[in-house]
Amino acid sequence: MTKSQEQSGEGKVICPSCDLAVLLPAYRRGYQCRCPRCKKLLRTANDISWTHGAAVAFSAILMLLCVLPLPFFSLSSSGLSASFSLLSLCLLYNDWFLLVALFVLTVLLLPLCMLVIICAIGICGYKPSKIVAIVYTYCHVGSFVDVFILAVAISLVKITSLATVDFLSGFYLFVIFSWMTIWCWNKYRPVTIWKLKDKSPELSINLELKGQEQGIKICRRCLCAFKSYEEEAVCPRCGKRTYFRQKICGQKCAALLLAAFILFFPSNLYPVMVTTYLGSPEGSNIVDGALFLWKSGSWFVASVIIVASLFIPGFKILALSYLSLRVNKGVI
């Protein structure tokens, strides 16, 4: 990087996570840039190809349309068998309206909307408007295709003690759809859409000062960096209210941590699934399910459930509590 570029601020960014001013080196394909303090990704390793993304997104849309009517899995017990598709699961809205609505929204509609926007940009050269960028941001946040696949796999493993479970063509095609969607989700984050709409304003950044000390705010929605010495300002790109530090954020953090600590125990002790067999309902919590899987020989799945349900949330609560105390004492 030349001296004139360094003086003009080109190649300088403010880390959106820790507010550190960072001087990025000249772009080299295959090399990504991370914040030296918090390791936040500041620049990807490769250029973003909207043509490739549109091809993957369009393939994912076709895959989803093919998956919907195909049988997803089948259950057989005592000589009786039944198969289910994603469309048939959607028809259960009379008994499980909220669950079906969440499934349709987070697994079908939001990912589909995200993929359609990627196709429109890559194939038609569409320049996203502010509304489209906001919609894409919410679709990106609310897509839980991978969670659905994991939940289905774990639930059906539990049912294997009562019936024979067979994964059919719809399940495997949906796994492919999930992989394509996750690839697009990871490759085309909302900030890439916002950069197509408008670029961030040119800023003169001093590497010896933090962003807040220079009056530089970073929008949490579109990651636009702009100057404003006021405590509350409106992002010039997406219109979201932006703060140097949210009001009573320490109290909010403490309240959420306390609520998480209180809910941690009943969420793991109360039943999460009720199985009715021969008219006799039986509830099982996360620990019971993990123990059942362990005794049945599925040690890996049981270990994943225990780690993901007990150890990781518990460690997060402890770590966040420690960091919150340090911040309130002014150590961090």
Q: Residue 10 belongs to what H/E stretch?
A: none
The pLDDT value recorded for residue 184 is 92
With a CB cutoff of 8 Å and minimum separation 6, the contacts of 328 are 250
Q: What is the pLDDT of residues 155-206, one digit of tens each?
A: 766 666 667 778 788 888 988 999 999 999 988 989 889 988 887 777 888 8
The pLDDT value recorded for residue 20 is 86
pLDDT confidence bin for 49, thresholds 50/70/90:
confident
Residue 70 contacts residue 87 (beta carbons within 8 Å): no
The pLDDT value recorded for residue 221 is 87
The pLDDT value recorded for residue 248 is 72
The pLDDT value recorded for residue 276 is 66
Q: Where are the beta strands (DSSP E) in the chain?
A: 12-14, 21-23, 33-34, 41-43, 71-77, 80-85, 164-167, 216-218, 225-227, 232-234, 241-243, 273-277, 280-284
Question: Helix or strand or coil: residue 154?
Answer: helix
Residue 117 contacts residue 58 (beta carbons within 8 Å): no
Instruction: Give the range with max mean pLDDT: 111-120, 182-191, 294-303.
Output: 111-120
Residue 318 has pLDDT above 50, yes or no: yes
More confident site: 290 or 36: 36
Residue 6 has pLDDT above 60, yes or no: no
Q: CA 42, CA 326: separation in Å to the nearest integer? A: 27
Q: CA 304, CA 227: separation in Å to the nearest integer? A: 45
pTM greater than the 0.85 cutoff: no
The pLDDT value recorded for residue 329 is 72
The pLDDT value recorded for residue 88 is 81
